[in-house]
Amino acid sequence: MDIEVWIRALKAARAGADLSQEALSATIRWSPSTVAAIETGRRRPTMEFAIAADQALGTGGLLASLLREYDGDRSPSWFLPWQGYEDQAVLIRNFEPCAIPGLLQTEEYARAIFEAGRLYGKDRVDELLALRMARQRVLAKSDAPDCVFIVDESALRRSIGGRAVMDGQFGRLLDAAEHPRVRLHVLPLDIGAHLSLGGGFAIAELPGGEHMLCLDNPARGQIADYPEWIRLMLRKWEILLGEALPERASLDLIHKLKVTS
């Protein structure tokens, strides 16, 4: 199914309910600019948006069903909208408690993660790996976004793929830190309890100041732009950044880990 079919279905349902974009946004608590961006194809609809629109427009789950059909041809279905936001972003904030951020992973490190537990077959691993490596092109763009990463020290100390893989991964982090638009901080273990022990998150700031949020969980990520969630996660981010090591100290720690890996 082409996404244009989904957009036409949304517009038809909204017209049938005699709701303007503004009225729909007020009903489902998404911003008017988000509704407009989705209806013009500038923003990918999320499943959360489709479900909320179905409820507001009385379409009996049609929009969610069509979106599942559209996503069924793409892999992984939940992630592609987020990749679009990364491409548009002017600033990406990313906290990772358990692993190196995907935008900074080496191919060998990423493969070791996807092969863990033998959950996926070789073809699926190759598919996921290709997607992850393709994401990293965002840092090579002439208009690459500013990227600030906070990585928990435990993620650096967890051996993934063995000594050689970790040595290469530490080298990749040190190289990435030389990128003019990349800042890298380590949250030290001696902080103890912190605000995001439950999982990682990323916040993409888009042109015009809008924000999109991606939350990790064991099954799939969740993408949202609820204002109250954005405010909460921006506050958490500022606290985590304040507790993290400065850039120079963070890179010194990564260098020491590389030497001893």
Check if CATH label 2.60.40.10 holds for domain 3-72.
Answer: no
pLDDT digits (tens, 9 = 90+) for 169-191: 999 999 999 999 999 999 999 99
Q: pTM value?
A: 0.71
pLDDT band at 256 (very low <50, low <70, confident <90, very high): very high
Contacts of residue 60, defined as CB under 8 A and 6 or more positions apart, other chains included, come to 54
Contacts of residue 1, defined as CB under 8 A and 6 or more positions apart, other chains included, come to 66, 69, 70, 73
Calculate the dihedral angle through the C-alpha atoms of 241, 242, 244, 246, rounding to the nearest 10 degrees.
Answer: 100
- Helix H or strand E segment including 5: helix 3-16
DSSP string, 176-230: HTTSTTEEEEEE-GGG-S-TTTT--EEEEEPTTS-EEEEE--SS--EEE--HHHH
Determine the pLDDT at residue 23: 94
- DSSP symbol at 137: G
Architecture of domain 80-260: 2-Layer Sandwich (3.30)
Helix and strand numbers (H, E) in the chain are 12, 6
Instruction: Please state whether beta strands 211-215 and 201-205 pair in parallel, antiparallel, or not at all (unpaired).
Output: antiparallel
Determine the pLDDT at residue 83: 79
C-alpha 132/C-alpha 102 separation (Å) is 7
> Could you identify the residue written with the tokens 């923003």?
43
Q: Of 13-22, 100-109, 127-136, 200-209, which range is least confident?
A: 127-136
pLDDT digits (tens, 9 = 90+) for 48-67: 888 899 999 999 888 888 88
| Domain regions of the chain by residue span | 3-72, 80-260
Determine the pLDDT at residue 159: 95
* Cβ atoms of 240 and 150 closer than 8 Å: yes
